[in-house]
Amino acid sequence: AQTNAPLLPKVPPGTVLTIGDPVTQKALEVSGLIKELSFEVKWANISGGPQTSEAFRAKALDVGSVAEIPSIFANWNNLPVRNIAYRERRDPIANPIYRFGVAPGAGIKTLADFRGKRIAFSPGQAQGALVLRALHAAGLKKSDVTLVELPSTGDVYPKALASKQVDVAPLGGVYIRRYIAQYGGDGATLVEHGLRDDPGHLYAPQWVLDDPAKAAALAEYVGLWARATEWVNKNPEIWIKEYYVGQQGLSQDDGEYLVKLTGEQVVSGDWSEVKKRHQETINLLAAELGYKPFDVEKIFDNRFEKTASAALAKSQ
């Protein structure tokens, strides 16, 4: 892998990139930043680790936007990929993506109370990793709890909690609020995990990064991605109206809630912290799921470390 070959300063003409990052796409459109793209883009509405990886494998996609887990599993399974951009939340502990929902009457107040309980677990997804990390943080082993394998799609988790099929399940987005609103009366509660669960990445397969033209285009895209992130931070009203209400079909109320839940997202020009946390996650998952741990450097392309922050600085 030629991850040391310097990035080209300009994107060669004729370069095409297939990008699976629908949220940024919308932000670029609304903000007008999309006009600055100097190469041709094919947008794909693909998100989530398994799907993005499948599309990578099929050579149908060049770059995707996910959390921390997918790049790790891809490398364990013969699909070399690297993260090329990283952003986090402004106050990550106060603004986590997930909270643990507790079934009515389960009597759980802290992570330590997880012992002996049934916990919804979706291996291979961020929620699954979070459960393992929460157990680790509470000093529990996998065998101290009952992991109930459930896909986290849609409202499966809140429904499973409400019907007391599980005691604990990580909830995200509107489901956090909706779960309490609907079942709080019955005794449903939430537990904060106090862990970092906020990283967001762009990642691309090695063979795309090895193509100098595409790598240059990726660099340009990373810059725009950073500026789009900034733009969303600064224009929450427009964002709610255009994205959550206009495109996703949510109510204004839900949109506002989600924006508040996310808080501000910041693009970092220094990956050392995130690499450290990633390495811990890799080691934990390897130990719990029976994989060989590997060096975190395998899943970062350091050429892009400063790309995002540089683009931000330049635009201001």
Partner 1 sequence: MATIWDADEVKSSRPSSRESAHTVPAVARPRTSRSRRRLGPGPAIPFGLQIGPALLVLLWVAGSALGWIDPRILSAPWTVVEAFGRLIEQGRLQDNFVTSATRALLGLSIGLVIGTILAVTAGLSRIGEALIDGPVQIKRAIPTLALIPLLILWFGIGEGMKVTTIALAVIIPIYIHTHNALRGIDSRYVELAETLRMSQKDFIFQVVLPGALPGFLLGLRFAVTLCWVSLVVVEQINATSGLGYMIDLARNYGQTDVILVGLVVYVMLGLVSDGLVRLLERRVLSWRRTLAN
Give the residues lining the site for partner 1 (CB under 8 A). 20, 22, 44-46, 49-51, 53-55, 57-58, 60-61, 73-74, 76-79, 122-125, 148-151, 153-156, 158-160, 162-163, 165-166, 173-175, 178, 182-183, 248-250, 254
Which backbone phi and psi does 12 adopt, to 5 degrees?
-60, 145
| Nearer residue to partner 1 within complex by CB, 120 or 274 | 120
Amino acid at 215: A
> Taking the complex as a whole, how short is the minimal distance between the CB of residue 272 and partner 1, in angstroms?
28
Q: Least separation, in Å, of the C-beta of 127 and partner 1? A: 11
Give the C-alpha separation, 245 to 7, whole Å.
Answer: 39
Tell me how far apart the alpha carbons of residues 161 and 73 are, in angstroms, rounded to a whole number. 28
To the nearest whole angstrom, how small is the minimum distance from the Cβ of residue 12 to partner 1?
24
Please identify, using beta-carbon distances, which residue of 60 and 112 lies nearer to partner 1. 60
| Closest separation in Å from C-beta 145 to partner 1 | 13
Q: Which is nearer to partner 1, 34 or 250 (CB)?
A: 250
In the bound complex, what is the minimum distance in angstroms from residue 182's beta carbon to partner 1?
5
Instruction: Between 165 and 233, name the residue whose CB sits nearer to partner 1.
Output: 165
Output 32 or 149, the one with its CB closest to partner 1: 149
